[in-house]
Structures are given as structure tokens and as C-alpha cells.
Amino acid sequence: MAKVISEDIGEYYHHYPRVATIVTAQAKGRQNAMAVAWHTSISFAPPLYGIAVSPKRFTYQLIVDSKEFGVNFLPFEQAELVASVGGSSGGEIDKFRQFDITQNKPVKTAVPILKDAYAAYECRLIDDRGYGDHRLLVGEIVAAHSLEEAFTPEGILDLAKVSPILYLGGERYVTASRETIKYLDRKVYGKD
């Protein structure tokens, strides 16, 4: 099969799927939620997390104003909520009311934590830098919420209990199943 090589990159999705998250923020009495697929861990010590957010998003201004954001990881049953908050603007509607989103209390910040999340990070903004048409917002994780039964004793997501939301790009979502797990010990495989 022939490989296609392109130098006109445009919008690129070759590296998908990616875990879809819901980023939350609040400021000046307004709270909001948006879908974010561009996110990454950056450091263990201190625990840093990065999200790439367009400055056009209503959420961006709330994060700049409050210097805080939340990253919420939801089960596949909640994929519709990702599409809902990713397809609407907080400048026009109150997404928490419109989509009937229930919350848990944050502990270190004032960011909304979604009750249905199997994990969530409360982050304090430490850097906001522009790269092309997005801003890379880096936050220190000051509290991590997690559903105890969703994780194995080693802290790995238990796919028997929770199916994550993987975003394929466009309007397509998929999940990961336990049957496809491969255990590959790096100490064994790293040997020549």
C-alpha cells in the first residue's frame, strides 16, 4: 500500500485517537465547561498538566481571570456530554443548566468538578503561552479526584470498571476494551 506524504498539513488528525476531556473553569460568578482533546501531563514533580486552548473559547477568558482550570475524565457513557459542551459556547448558554451537569465540590480551587468524572484534576495556572492559533495553558495539579473502584491497586484505569472516551476526530468517538490489553514488560522487551 502506498504512503501519502503531504507538505500542506492543514488540520491534522493523524495522531488520533486521543482521550477526550471536559475542561471546566469559573470566574466572576460564571462557570463553564468545554471539550478538550489537546492535553498532556508534563511533569511528576511538581505535577504539571497542559491543555491547548484557543483564545476564542469562552473558557479561555474564565481561566485567565481565575488562574485556575479543571480537567475532567468521563466514562464512555458520557460521550454525548463531550459533544454537547464541545458544540456550544458558554457565551450563549449556561451549559451546566442546559446539559444538567451535576458537580462535586472542589477542594483546593473553585473550579467545577463533574460528579460523573472517574478522575479530575484541579489545576492552578502557572503559564499561558501562545503557540500558533492556540494557547498552551500549564497548570500545577493541586488536587486529584478519582473514583477508587475505577483504578487498579497500581493506579491504572481498570477497563473492567470504566471505559474511557477516545476521540477519533471529526464527530467520532470510540472506547478501549479490556480484551485488547497486552502486558508487555519493558524489562523483558528492552533486552536485546
Ligand X SMILES: Cc1cc2nc3c(=O)[nH]c(=O)nc-3n(C[C@H](O)[C@H](O)[C@H](O)COP(=O)(O)O)c2cc1C
Note the residues at the interface with ligand X (CB under 6 A): 20, 32, 34-38, 52-54, 57-59, 82-83, 86, 88-90, 134, 167
Indicate the DSSP class of residue 18: E
Nearer to ligand X, 57 or 145 (CB): 57
What does residue 150 show for φ and ψ, rounded to 5 degrees? -85, -10
**Residue among 114, 94, 108, 107 nearest 21 (CA):** 114
CA angle 104, 105, 110 (to 5 degrees): 125
Indicate the DSSP class of residue 173: E
Nearer to ligand X, 90 or 164 (CB): 90
Neighbouring C-beta atoms of residue 102, cutoff 10 Å: 9
Nearer to ligand X, 118 or 167 (CB): 167
The minimum distance between CB 167 and ligand X, in angstroms, equals 4
The minimum distance between CB 98 and ligand X, in angstroms, equals 11
Nearer to ligand X, 20 or 117 (CB): 20
**Residue among 26, 31, 45 nearest 141 (CA):** 45
Dump the DSSP string for 38-79: -EEEEETTTTEEEEEE-TTSHHHHHHHHHSEEEEEE-BGGGH
Nearer to ligand X, 5 or 9 (CB): 9
The minimum distance between CB 18 and ligand X, in angstroms, equals 8
Q: Which residue is nearest to ligand X (CB)?
A: 86
The minimum distance between CB 90 and ligand X, in angstroms, equals 3
Provide the CA 156 distance to its chain's centre, in angstroms. Answer: 17
Q: Is 188 helix (H, G, I), strand (E, B) or coil?
A: helix
The minimum distance between CB 122 and ligand X, in angstroms, equals 18
Nearer to ligand X, 79 or 157 (CB): 79
The minimum distance between CB 159 and ligand X, in angstroms, equals 21
